[in-house]
Amino acid sequence: MIEPTTAQQAVRDHPSPSLLVVAPAGCGKTEALALRIAGLIDNGIVEPPRRILAATFTNRAKDNLRSRLRDHIPAGVMRNRVTVANFHGLAARVIRAHAATIGLDPAIELPDGDWVKEQCHERGLSYPAIEAIEGLFRTIKQKPLDDSEVAEALRASGNLDAYKIEQQRIADNRATYDDLLRLAEHILSHDAVAGLYRNHFAAVIVDEYQDLTAQQLRVLNRIGEDRITFAGDLAQGIYSFTGAQPAETEAAIRQSVGSNIVEFNESHRSSPAVLAMVNALNCVTGGTDLHCAKPHTWPAEGFAAIWDFPDQHQETKWVIHLAKHINSAAPNHRIGVIARIKSRLRFLDHALASTELTVNRWEDGVLDTDTAVIVKRALHAVDIDALNAVTDRLAYLVELAKIDEINEPDTRRSLIDALVWVLDRMSAGDHPDQIASRIRIGHQNTLLDATGVHLLSGHVGKGQQFDWVVIVGAEDDTVPFFRAETTEELLEEARIFSVMISRARHGVVVTHAASVATMAGKAKARQPSRFLLALSAAHPLTKHQSGEWLKAAPWDQLRKR
At residue 348 the predicted structure's pLDDT band, cuts being 50, 70 and 90, is very high
pLDDT at 366: 57
pLDDT at 461: 83
For range 422-450, the mean pLDDT: 75
For the stretch 254-270, pLDDT in tens is 999 999 999 999 998 99
Residue 120 CA: distances (Å) to CA of 109, 126, 129, 158, 160? 19, 8, 8, 16, 12
Q: What is the CB neighbour count within 10 angstroms for residue 43?
A: 12
For the stretch 300-327, pLDDT in tens is 999 999 999 999 999 999 999 999 999 9
Residue 432 has pLDDT above 70, yes or no: yes
Mean residue pLDDT across the chain = 92
DSSP-derived 3-state class of residue 555: helix
Q: Which residue has the higher pLDDT, 280 or 64?
A: 280
pLDDT at 63: 82
- pTM for the model stands at 0.79
Of 2-6, 340-344, 388-392, 411-415, highest mean pLDDT: 340-344
For the stretch 530-553, pLDDT in tens is 999 999 999 999 999 999 999 999
pLDDT at 439: 78
pLDDT at 364: 63
Q: Which residues, at least 6 apart from 68, have a Cβ–Cβ distance to it below 8 Å?
A: 30, 31, 33, 34
For range 103-116, the mean pLDDT: 90
The whole-angstrom distance between residue 60's C-alpha and the CA centroid of its chain comes to: 7
pLDDT at 62: 85
Residue 444 has pLDDT above 50, yes or no: no
For range 283-287, the mean pLDDT: 88
Residue 373 has pLDDT above 90, yes or no: no
| Region for 309 from its dihedrals, namely left if φ exceeds 0, alpha if ψ lies in -120 to 50, beta otherwise | beta
Residue 213 has pLDDT above 60, yes or no: yes
At residue 365 the predicted structure's pLDDT band, cuts being 50, 70 and 90, is low
At residue 443 the predicted structure's pLDDT band, cuts being 50, 70 and 90, is very low
pLDDT at 441: 59
Q: In this structure, which amino acid lies at residue 44?
A: G
pLDDT at 367: 59
Q: Using DSSP, how many helices (H) and how many strands (E) does the chain show?
A: 26, 16
Residue 228 has pLDDT above 60, yes or no: yes
At residue 132 the predicted structure's pLDDT band, cuts being 50, 70 and 90, is very high
